[in-house]
Amino acid sequence: MATSEGFATFVLEQLGGVEGIWARKMFGEYAVYAGEKVVAFLVDNQLFVKPTDAGRAFLVTPSEEIPFPGARPMFLVADELDDPERLCELVRRTSEALPPPKPKRPKKPRERKPAR
């Protein structure tokens, strides 16, 4: 089951207090960014936040689930969805705790075949 656009819109509205928040649709689900950092995923209409020590301390007893096959466990956020201030604080702390994204490699120019 893919995440609905309505759920993604709702979560982004709840996270409106976080500077630079946006989402990108990927394979029917969404990656949630704070600036250039991926901080969370929307999978099957559920919010999964990347686990950090700062997030764990803030949530105290977070529920950890695997959002999709092959993924590491993440914090499954449910109660905080109805509390925008708490949700924004969790995402801010998570973003601050995550390392900056690795620089992307420059694309190699394609070799052009000679015209016949």
Phi/psi at 89 (nearest 5 deg)? -65, -40
Please compute the mean of the pLDDT values over residues 30-59 and round it to a whole number.
96
Q: Is residue 103 part of a domain?
A: no
CATH code assigned at 40: 3.30.1460.30
Query: What are the structure tokens assigned to 72, written together?
Result: 């590491």
pLDDT at residue 1 tops 80: no
Q: What SS3 class is residue 80? A: helix
pLDDT band at residue 35 under the 50/70/90 scheme: very high
Number of domains in the chain: 1
Q: How far is CA 114 from CA 70, 107, 109, 111, in A?
A: 43, 21, 15, 9
Q: What is the pLDDT of residues 54-83, one digit of tens each?
A: 999 999 899 999 998 999 999 999 989 999
Could you tell me the pTM of the whole model?
Answer: 0.86
The domain in which residue 13 lies consists of 5-97
Average pLDDT, the chain: 92
Q: What average pLDDT does the segment 12-36 reach?
A: 94
Note the pLDDT of residue 108: 81
